[in-house]
Amino acid sequence: MKMISLKKKHLTVSYLDTEYAENLLPNWHHYNLHPRLTKSLHYNNFLSPTPIQSSAIPIALKQRDVVGVAQTGSGKTLAYGLPILHKLLSVAPLKPSSKHRPVQALVLAPTRELALQVSTHLNACLNPYKPEDDNAKGKGTDPSGKKPPPRVSAAAIVGGMSAQKQRRILNRGVDVLVATPGRLWDIIEEDETLAKELKQLKILVLDEADRMIEAGHFAELENILRLTLRESEDDQIPDDIPSISPSDVEDNKDKVARDQMQTFVFSATLSKDLQKNFKRRSKPKRSNNSKKEEKPASTLVIDLSPEGGVVSSLTEGKIQCLSADKDVYLYYFLLRYPGRSLVFLSSIDGIRRLLPLTELLNIKAFPLHSQLEQRQRLKNLDRFKSTPNSVLLATDIAARGLDIPSVDHVIHYQIPRSADVYVHRNGRTARAMRKGFSMLMCAPDERRVVRALLGTLGRGDDEIQEISIDLGMLDKLKARVQLARQIETSHHQAKKAKHERNWMRETAEAMEIELDSDFASDDDDENPTKRQRKAKEAKAAGLKAQLKQTLAQPLIAWGRSPEQTSSNCLMPLSR
């Protein structure tokens, strides 16, 4: 079959009519998606559906509920996003009104970054062409100069961003709402209209569901789900029992079909908590009428997760070392294997300790954790994406759903707390069949945790091979790390002492308390003299100069000449 080739920059809506869909997208044609979606798929070069998409989309288009489990980077967002947008576009008017439109579909995500990413992907499907493509031809605005409302709109509501701006979006109306449970519930408590709209919701999606239903997490989720529950007629107690005609029965059937909510539950892992919750919620109610026939299950579970939680394009390795030596081994790995590396830590304090060390060692590193402002989190993500040979130091908020292109390595600096977290962390690399590498840094006291973690996945500890280490090179790097630690320790102690003195003075002033002479004398003793201060500054400057000189010395891997090796990068070895 001869394909019709159209250049992107010349591609417009009028050129890609339905009659070309079979030739342009033969693998998508039989789904009969809305023309706007097929144009978007072609524009973004999505020529074939992924396995989870080809399994879930036909079922979803039949209005059935879907539970989808597939490896990270397999296209789960479009697996539920395309059926939702197809359904809404099919009934949307060609000239939408500017009046308020109620929420018809709700997508709940566990993290802000994932919610924003899902919203971006859905809007890319709805608006496949850049704004300048339409503006150049005088399109995109009506005769009055105002931009017309979209046929179907999607927006994200997350914490850490302007709540006032997000309320304005809701007041204008949105068809597909992507949200984190916490911020959404905060708005629902103040917005009775939104609460009523959720009671009439047509589609509900739980993305990365296993994370949201964990015990102790997202208490607001249960409250939101209660709003979406439909009250069955069996649970209602009528005041009287009128006579029912056959036509009324048919009308009631149509009403039930219209009121029924479609549900999508997607995740990369099918955790035990998720299975228990799913079985509990899907258990049929007992009926007093024994003659009543049971309805067939309308929910289809699609489990395409890889065996052992490892995708075929992922290579795993481990380094066994003391906890105190993890900094040195991490530095060794980052120099030995250049590329974008995502380093996972279990605590924010660990990131705050490690970040200044990487900066002193001339490694471009960016932090990502929950105590950063949302703007800074998004800024650091963008910097990591656009900077080659950079490092993202992150807690597990980056382990779920984030699609960061070209992540070469995932490093478990601290062992994940569960097998599901391990799978999700690894899912940040080796996405969409690209190659990736995962490394476990295992201390002696963590070996038991690693064995239990791999045992949950049905694997043995010996299945992950140890990475070979050039011990001679490691000793050279250890000297660099020790110098960086001395500089950071000196700087941290001075900063901490200054902070404590200032805090005590400010607290005393706020409480109108006069500090006694003993505190003042101790403060004077702690305050260094001009000569002492100069001596400390000179020592710190000397350490920095020594580190700078050490960093300028070339590192030569075995079997390599100085000409073949740059001053701050070891030659990468094959894995």
Q: How far apart are CA 329 and CA 327, in angstroms?
A: 6
415 lies in the same domain as 451: yes
Instruction: With respect to residue 566, please indicate whether it lies within any of the assigned structural domains.
Output: no
- At 472, list the tokens: 């001679």
Of the two residues 482 and 505, the one the predictor is more confident about is 482
Residues making up the chain, counted from first to last: 575
> Which residue segment(s) compose the domain that 358 sits in?
309-472
- Whether 397 maps to a domain, the answer reads yes
Considering only 5-9, 55-59, 337-341, 537-541, which range has the smallest mean pLDDT? Answer: 5-9
Residues 60 and 176 in one domain: yes
Q: Are residues 182 and 69 in the same domain?
A: yes
**Does residue 283 lie within any of the structural domains?**
no
In-domain check, residue 465: yes
Q: Distance between CA atoms of 123 and 140, rounded to whole angstroms? A: 16
Whether 339 and 367 share a structural domain: yes
Greater confidence (209 vs 563) lies with: 209
- Residue where a domain terminates, one of 472, 500, 525: 472
Residue 569 contacts residue 335 (beta carbons within 8 Å): yes
- Give yes or no: residues 269 and 345 share one domain: no
What was the pLDDT predicted at 431? 81
Residue 420's contacts (CB-CB under 8 Å, 6 or more residues apart) are 210, 269, 271
In sequence order, the β-bridge partners of residue 299 are 65
Give yes or no: residues 332 and 301 share one domain. Answer: no
Tokens 């079959």 belong to which residue?
1
Do 268 and 332 lie in a common domain? no
> Does residue 341 belong to any structural domain of this protein?
yes
Q: Are residues 272 and 392 in the same domain?
A: no
Query: 3-class SS at 180?
Result: coil
Establish if 459 belongs to a structural domain: yes
On whether both 386 and 406 belong to a single domain, the answer is yes
Q: Kindly report the CATH number assigned to the domain that includes residue 187.
A: 3.40.50.300
What is the per-residue pLDDT for 519?
59
> Mean pLDDT, to the nearest integer, of 340-356?
95
Domain co-membership, 268 together with 321: no
Q: What is the pLDDT of the chain when averaged over all its residues?
A: 80
Amino acid present at 171: N
Same domain as 221, residue 318: no
The model's pLDDT over 536-560, given as tens digits with 9 standing for 90+, comes to 888 888 999 999 999 998 876 544 4
Residues facing 316 on adjacent strands: 438
- On whether residue 159 sits in a domain, the answer given is yes
**pLDDT in the model for residue 440:** 96
- The pLDDT tens digits for 227-245 are 888 655 444 444 444 444 4
Q: Is residue 334 part of a domain?
A: yes
Quick: pLDDT tens for 116-165: 999 999 999 998 665 445 444 445 555 555 678 899 999 999 998 888 89
Judge if 76 and 208 occupy the same domain: yes
Which secondary-structure segment (H or E) carries 301? strand 299-304
Q: What band does 274 get if pLDDT is binned at 50, 70 and 90?
A: low
Q: Which two tokens stand for residue 172?
A: 């204008």
| pLDDT (0 to 100) of residue 10 | 38
End-of-domain residue from the set 472, 489, 508: 472
Of 472, 487, 506, the residue that ends a domain is 472
Number of domains composing the chain? 2
* Mean pLDDT for the stretch of residues 77-87: 96
Residues 393, 353: Cα–Cα separation, whole Å: 11
